[in-house]
Structure 1
Amino acid sequence: MELFKRILFTLRMLHRYRHALAKIDSSTPRQIHQISPANLKHNGIRVLVLDFDGVLAAHGEALPIQELQPWLHDCVNIFGSTQVFVLSNKPLQSRINYFNPLKIRCIADVKKKPYPDGLQKIIALTGQSPKTVMLVDDRLLTGCLAACIAGISVTLITRPYVSLSKRPIQELFFMTLRFLERYIVQWYAIF
């Protein structure tokens, strides 16, 4: 029942935010390590929110890919330990335990994206204006839609991390979803 409610909510919000979603740049191949935390800070971003699956690791992984550790440390050094968050629809305890020593807070016990509850919680915790908060996500109709609803900036990861050898069915499912989301958003924005 909860999944059905979330799908209906997504469809309603897709209609309302279709033009904003269509403006999100999905043409540039982008992975998380290609985003400069220093440039984000220079451009007025004060709070950085990261999705996990596809952004920091392949779907279903317990920990981010090892190569991202220096990038994550840069984020904490540049934004401060109270201004970097992970907002995942799967806030696994192993992930929360990984981020605790890095002083990156994981948001749990909120409705799943595209509901904006997690982003609104982060805005309340930091006391920052929504205009200074940015979400980095790999899905248009979950994270990016939640960002549009919450009125925050968003960067779309167009080359997410995948592991076809470990989880071929799951990864193919999400690859298909990402493709369909881009197609639906571009098509629907015409109306």
Structure 2
Amino acid sequence: MVKVFKIKKENLDRFVSRELKRQLDIFKIVFGCLLILFIILGVVAKAYFIPLVGLVLFGVVFLYVSAILKGDLKALSTAFTFIIDDKAISRQVDWSQINSFMKLRAERARQRYGSSLDQIIELANVDEISVGINGIKITSINANILNGNGIINLPAELAFYEEALDYFKTNPSLYSKIVHK
């Protein structure tokens, strides 16, 4: 039995907004720490314009990064296909729906960090299935949190999301690995 899931068209904006907020939260923490450093530097050097310049610079960079991430997430949300069969769970990317700049960045990330947008997790290698309000997170026994390999997130915005959840609950070999968060 093979089940194919895609994100519903009417839920794309909600998915993009949630993921964008999650990714920008990390960005805000890093920029907040750097801004505090600029404030301390400005006070110590008695050059009070340094924090203002830092704030303006970080604001412009933040707006640029958020626009790039939003475009990427919109493109990826339409290009992702999640496939569940009797042997594996996979996330496949339809590369024809992604622009050449994104393809270039994905290839660079693959070469530098080993990360891949296409993921396959064998059911025998599933370590944990976390069910939360935003979706299902499937983690393999050889997951790498640094590059995202071995981790598949099935968002709650999937068409037939409940059917995917029922599959995990009714599969005896996977049921013991389900954790509700």
TM-score between the two structures when normalised by the length of structure 2? 0.31
Tell me which structure has the larger Cα radius of gyration. Answer: 2
Higher relative contact order (CA 8 A, sep 6+): 1
The structure with the largest helix share of the pair is 2
